[in-house]
Amino acid sequence: MKKVLQAAVVAALVAGGVTTLPVAAAEVKLKAAAFLPVRSIVSRQFVRFVEETNKQCAGKVNISIVGPEAIPSLEQWNALKNGVVDMHYGPPNYFRGAVPAGDVISVARNESAEQRKNGAWALINADYNNKLNAWYLTQLFNGVRFHLYTTKPGKDGKFDGFRLRSVPIYDAFFKSLGASPVRMAPPEVHTALERGAVDGYGWPLWGIQDFGWDKYTKYRYDPGFISAAVAIIVNLDKWKGLAPDQRDCLTKMSIWVEGEWPKWRAAEDAKQFAAQKKAGIKVVDLGPGFAERAEEIYWTDLAKGDPAFVKKIRPLLK
């Protein structure tokens, strides 16, 4: 009976001159790769975004997440570029080889919502389109600053002879402080601290408790420098293949999280400050010049990769 009714509807539409039927796009399933395990404080923010997106975009888009146990963190951006995964949540400094100035979001001083309004988002998106085959949805962790943590005190803002676990984003800054940057994966840092193989590390305000590093950390140096920005990007071919309402829903959710993010950040900042205070970590304020120095060094480094782009976008990120 159902088929007979469907046939009758089709016949009536054709008789009335309607030769095509409106077809709603089926819900698309997107596979996203997160650079840290989903249980980490960093990835939990992405999980929060994904859960709300799946709720608000039900029937249009559904996102599932895999972590570094499925695809190693440093390989995820290339998996996104080549379409192995549809989405990626990861720091742009990981794919600087492909997008030399893509990490400008880490030295931004304004909110993501402002960047969308003043044209910065569009410039970054175009850069990602051209060099990474990616559509830039938005970012998380804007304004969550990196800090220097140590097991022993520095001297007047200098850290001569210190071995500090580092990443490329602040290698040059640590060297300018007299320290020697040491490269190691986060799971290795606990043992290195325990054995005295490193004297400290760079890490955002959030999450040192996740790894148990607070047990060995005695000092945190303020103010925080550079943002631990993490981009949310979609494979460009996949994005172009989505129906307009699917793209619109993902964009709507990106704008939504940009509005929510300052509140999420403030609430978690308070928890993290309290947890570090409870752990007995002493705060040493080195003044605003400390953060300004780190950021200027990184701006200079980014400009080496794409001077024209940096010159154009920097005024939009103040």
Based on the structure, what is the number of domains in the chain?
Answer: 2
Q: How much is the average pLDDT of 26-35?
A: 96
- Residue 84: give its domain's CATH number: 3.40.190.170
Q: What is the pLDDT of residues 54-110, one digit of tens each?
A: 999 999 999 999 999 999 998 999 999 999 999 999 999 999 999 999 999 999 999
**Does residue 192 fall inside a structural domain?**
yes
**Does residue 14 fall inside a structural domain?**
no
**For the chain, what is the mean pLDDT?**
92
The pLDDT value recorded for residue 187 is 81
Same domain, 218 and 305: yes
Q: What is the pLDDT of residues 97-129, one digit of tens each?
A: 999 999 999 999 999 999 999 999 999 999 999
Please give the DSSP secondary-structure letter assigned to residue 14: H
- Is pLDDT of 19 > 70? no
Q: Place 284 in a pLDDT band, splitting at 50, 70 and 90.
A: very high
The pLDDT value recorded for residue 156 is 87
- Is pLDDT of 132 > 50? yes
Q: Place 21 in a pLDDT band, splitting at 50, 70 and 90.
A: very low
Q: How much is the average pLDDT of 287-302?
A: 95
Residues facing 222 on adjacent strands: 285
Q: How much is the average pLDDT of 14-38?
A: 72
**Does residue 86 fall inside a structural domain?**
yes
Same domain, 239 and 199: no
Same domain, 109 and 133: yes
**Does residue 303 fall inside a structural domain?**
yes
**Does residue 20 fall inside a structural domain?**
no
Q: How much is the average pLDDT of 1-7?
A: 42
Give the whole-angstrom CA distance, residue 73 versus residue 89.
10
Long-range contacts at 54-57 (CB < 8 A, ≥ 24 apart): 56/249, 56/252, 56/253, 56/256, 57/246, 57/249, 57/250, 57/253
- Is pLDDT of 24 > 80? no
Same domain, 105 and 119: yes
Same domain, 61 and 167: no
| Enclosing domain of residue 297 | 145-226+280-317
The first and second tokens of residue 244, run together, are 């307009």
Same domain, 97 and 238: yes
Same domain, 292 and 158: yes
Same domain, 69 and 180: no
Same domain, 58 and 206: no
**Does residue 10 fall inside a structural domain?**
no
Same domain, 308 and 174: yes
Q: What is the pLDDT of residues 206-236, one digit of tens each?
A: 999 988 999 999 999 999 999 999 999 999 9
52 contacts: CB under 8 Å, gap ≥ 6 = 253, 256, 257
- Is pLDDT of 160 > 60? yes
Instruction: Give the pTM.
Output: 0.87
Same domain, 124 and 244: yes
- Is pLDDT of 251 > 80? yes
Same domain, 168 and 58: no
- Is pLDDT of 6 > 60? no
Percent over 90 (pLDDT), the chain: 86
